Amino acid sequence: MLKMFKPSEKKTKSWDRAPRSMAWLASTAIMGAGLVVAAPAAHAQDAMMAQGGLLATGGVTSINGVGGGGINPFAVISGYDTNDEVGVTGFFTHLIAGSYTLNSGGASVGLFNRVEVSVARQNFDLGSPGASLGLGPDFNLSQNIISAKVRLFGNAVYDQGTMLPVVAVGASYHENVTSAFPGTNEALPKAVGSHLDGTTFYVVATKLFIDGLFGHYTLVSAGARLTNSNYNGLLGFGGTNAAGQFKSGYHVEPFFDFAYFPDRKFAVGYEFRAMPHFDVAGALNLNTTNNWQDVFVAYFPTKNLSITAAYAALGTIAGAKNSNGLYLSFTATF
């Protein structure tokens, strides 16, 4: 009778092996399905970063980290992202203007050709003017800048049949992190009665003519800032006049850009930026402020890199006249 159960015991062992085989088949199927799902996901990720825009249409990067020219924002979104793509941009700018030196670097993200978010850090070396004030030869004015820009309407490429420009609005928040005066607890901007932090708002319209002057790319951009910044915020915002009253009123300041492309990889152009004028008391003479201008040459060897060289005329800065010089800027796009 016991032997009659042996075949059934073998049968039981056979069924014991079956779950393990089914588990192996199930795990293989899951792995296979994962590969099938992962392939389109990787393809979708690659497509999202595909840089579908035309060469140079994202502009370069301004000293504030915003996509545009060297000193002004454009209405286009930084990078080469189209409506279903994301672009990432990094930049570094070095400016020598008379006795002063500015280093600015940062990064931006362009989202679906609609929104741009950027961060930048600026260090402005006062050089000999700083030394004459007892601050030392290497005293730096420093600030962090966080910016956001939204394209409201218009497309730089697809609106060629009309005069409709690309229009955007934006804002930049400046956090002044300047080192303190030796032996005091007051930062330099406070010494002239200004606030350390502030926000600048702007609206800008940009038009790219693909078949522009002499059949080449031609770009025109214009806008206005609402700001109360002293030298782009490096000396704070607003100020205290001779009567000891803080003056924080905002000014509307226009700006303008023009660029011509003799070749699709090269651009030459001009920029203008009006600067606010404050009646500010203190150790530094801020009453004489000139508008900023520059002439530039930009080279776009690939969509991943642009190089800009310019002669910048910044005029009088904190009492130092003829603060003019050269700047070189690199923008990398991914």
Residues 53 and 42 in one domain: no
Residues 14 and 118 in one domain: no
| Position 29 pLDDT exceeds 70 | no
Residues 223 and 295 in one domain: yes
pTM for the model = 0.81
Cα separations in angstroms, 238 against 188, 208, 224, 280? 13, 36, 18, 8
* Number of domains the chain is built from: 2
Residues 27 and 110 in one domain: no
Question: What is the residue range of 17's domain?
Answer: 3-46
Using DSSP, state whether 67 is helix, strand or coil: strand
| Higher-scoring residue by pLDDT: 54, 204 | 204
Residues 53 and 39 in one domain: no
Instruction: Give 144-162 pLDDT, tens digit per residue.
Output: 999 999 999 999 999 998 9
pLDDT at 180: 59
Tell me which of 93-97, 100-104, 124-128, 182-186 is least confident. 182-186
Q: Which of 97-101, 130-134, 324-328 has the highest mean pLDDT?
A: 324-328
The DSSP code for 122 is E
Nearest CA to 81 among 52, 108, 116, 115? 52
| Position 2 pLDDT exceeds 50 | no
Residue type, 63: I
| Position 6 pLDDT exceeds 60 | no
pLDDT at 287: 57
Tell me which of 15-24, 97-106, 281-290 is least confident. 15-24
pLDDT at 18: 41
